[in-house]
Amino acid sequence: MTQTKVKPAEGKLGILVVGNGAVATTFMTGVLMTRKGLAKPVGSMTQYDKIRIGKGADKKYLKYDEIVSLAKLDDIVFGCWDVYPANAYQAAIYAEVLKEKDIEPVRDELEAIKPMKAAFDKNYAKRLDGDNVKVGLTRWQMVEALREDIRSFKAEKGCDRIVVLWAASTEIYVPVDEKVHYHLADLEAAMKADDREHIAPSMCYAYAALVEGAPFIMGAPNTTVDFPAMWELAEKTKMPIAGKDFKTGQTLVKSGFAPIIGTRCLGLSGWFSTNILGNRDGLVLDEPANFRTKEVSKLSTLETILKPEIQPDLYGHGNDEDTQYYHKVRINYYPPRNDNKEGWDNIDIFGWMGYPMQIKINFLCRDSILAAPLCLDLCLLSDLAARAGRYGTQRFLSFFLKSPMHDYTQGEEAVNHLYQQYTMLKNAIREMGGYEADEEID
């Protein structure tokens, strides 16, 4: 074991969540209930997972907080922004994810979490119509107002550190434009020129967070920190960034199940995925421009695990060009289901001598129940990364994300294979704890 230079997690950690909807309120309520001993943080790696350190006679399995200094749940202070003025208690009741009996014991604490006015542009989420918004601001003024919000919250709540987490809706798709998104100076110039086409509101949150010394986590598939100008800002401010899109239901299945097909050297002709969900996320994704953002993130998972160029016999068939298996993703807005999302996967595989077989997976999941522990882990581990002096894209957090960030300008591919992602996560925890990173990805 080597001496580690990670600063200890002392004092309060402020978690500022963009969005006060189903995911955010389920996350907050769960943390507050767990603190009171009234619930268990099931699904959270930081609270349950154990990692091996050492080998042979020195081998031990330790929880994360026994290896590195993590912020304690008692030290977390929540704040948020939202386009709707409802406090976290009202929003949690409205979301109908949790039963009232699981919300009431922390009602007072939730009622005290009142959303700050959101930096919002209706063109980016046409289906949302709240009035708790900052009015008449240019993009640069949005940044300044958000920076002031972060400073005020930090001072008012006596926080030592802040993490900013995006748990709001998916914005419309913003293609990366080299003239705006490749250099920090160009990005800042576009913000100051109020370029609303290339500068999404989420970019203003990310910029404000990083400049105020707060790690930023993108929990939707938005083009927010996933381009060179933001990487440059993260390097300049020495802050961690992570994204994008929480890996909750169907993509979790994909990133864990596709390796079965690949490892067994079975062929794939096609993979059809469809979802129904009825929460606010489903409503926003019912708009084609917003769905496009999500589709790009969901489609990338398989292609980096089952590669036709490496195994043409197995993965080079299925579509019209006969160059790769057919992969289709659909999301359907269906209000009766609310937050209880259902994902169907139909997988057409083939085996010995090309004989076809099928796999069907039907995952009746609860979106926010799966997302809440990811929120906790991403916040605690981003805070850890900042204290460890790790900045820029945190690839070790890919485990929690649907479309992990990577430097596509250098031809780098995202790691989407769940077990490779888990190895990256464990090695990073080991390293930050002063132990040897002793597992390989191959």
Q: Would you state the pLDDT for residue 280?
A: 73
Of 338, 364, 390, which closes a domain?
Answer: 364
282: in domain: yes
Q: Are residues 273 and 394 in the same domain?
A: no
Nearest-CA neighbor of 367 among 263, 254, 278? Answer: 278
Q: Are residues 102 and 233 in the same domain?
A: yes
3: in domain: no
- The tens-digit pLDDT sequence of the chain (442 residues) is 565 689 999 999 999 999 999 999 999 999 999 999 999 999 999 999 999 999 999 999 999 999 999 999 999 999 999 999 999 999 999 999 999 999 999 999 999 999 999 999 999 998 888 999 999 999 999 999 999 999 999 999 999 999 999 999 999 999 999 999 999 999 999 999 999 999 999 999 999 999 999 999 999 999 999 999 999 999 999 999 999 999 988 889 999 999 999 999 999 999 999 998 887 777 777 777 777 776 776 667 898 899 998 999 999 876 556 678 999 989 888 999 888 889 999 999 999 999 999 999 999 999 999 999 999 999 999 999 999 999 999 999 999 999 999 999 999 989 999 999 999 999 999 999 999 999 998 7
Of 334, 364, 394, which closes a domain?
Answer: 364
Q: Are residues 112 and 159 in the same domain?
A: yes
Residue 156 contacts residue 16 (beta carbons within 8 Å): no
Nearest-CA neighbor of 302 among 323, 324, 332, 275? Answer: 324
442: in domain: no
76: in domain: yes
> How many residues comprise the chain?
442
Q: Are residues 84 and 193 in the same domain?
A: yes
Q: Are residues 388 and 353 in the same domain?
A: no
- Residue 301: which CATH number? 3.30.360.10
Could you tell me where the beta strands, DSSP code E, fall in 204-293? 216-218, 240-243, 267-277
Q: Are residues 242 and 254 in the same domain?
A: no
130: in domain: yes
Confirm whether pTM is higher than 0.85: yes
Q: Which domain holds residue 239?
A: 12-246+368-432
142: in domain: yes
Give bridge partners of residue 333 from the DSSP assignment. 277
Q: Report DSSP state, residue 416.
A: -
Q: Are residues 264 and 384 in the same domain?
A: no
Of 318, 347, 364, which closes a domain?
Answer: 364
Residues 6+ apart with CB under 8 A from 77: 12, 13, 14, 15, 157, 159
Q: Give the phi and the psi of residue 116 in degrees, each rounded to 5.
A: -75, 160
7: in domain: no
261: in domain: yes
Q: Are residues 344 and 377 in the same domain?
A: no
Residue 339 contacts residue 95 (beta carbons within 8 Å): yes
Q: Would you state the pLDDT for residue 297?
A: 64
Hey, CA dihedral for 378, 384, 387, 389, is it positive or negative? negative
Q: Are residues 340 and 412 in the same domain?
A: no
Q: Report DSSP state, residue 402.
A: S
Q: Would you state the pLDDT for residue 257?
A: 95
Q: Are residues 313 and 185 in the same domain?
A: no
Q: Would you state the pLDDT for residue 3?
A: 58
Q: Are residues 348 and 378 in the same domain?
A: no
Q: Are residues 288 and 186 in the same domain?
A: no
How many structural domains does the chain have? 2
Residue 162 contacts residue 212 (beta carbons within 8 Å): yes
Q: Would you state the pLDDT for residue 425?
A: 98
- Residue 173: which CATH number? 3.40.50.720
* Tokens 């496009």, residue located: 292
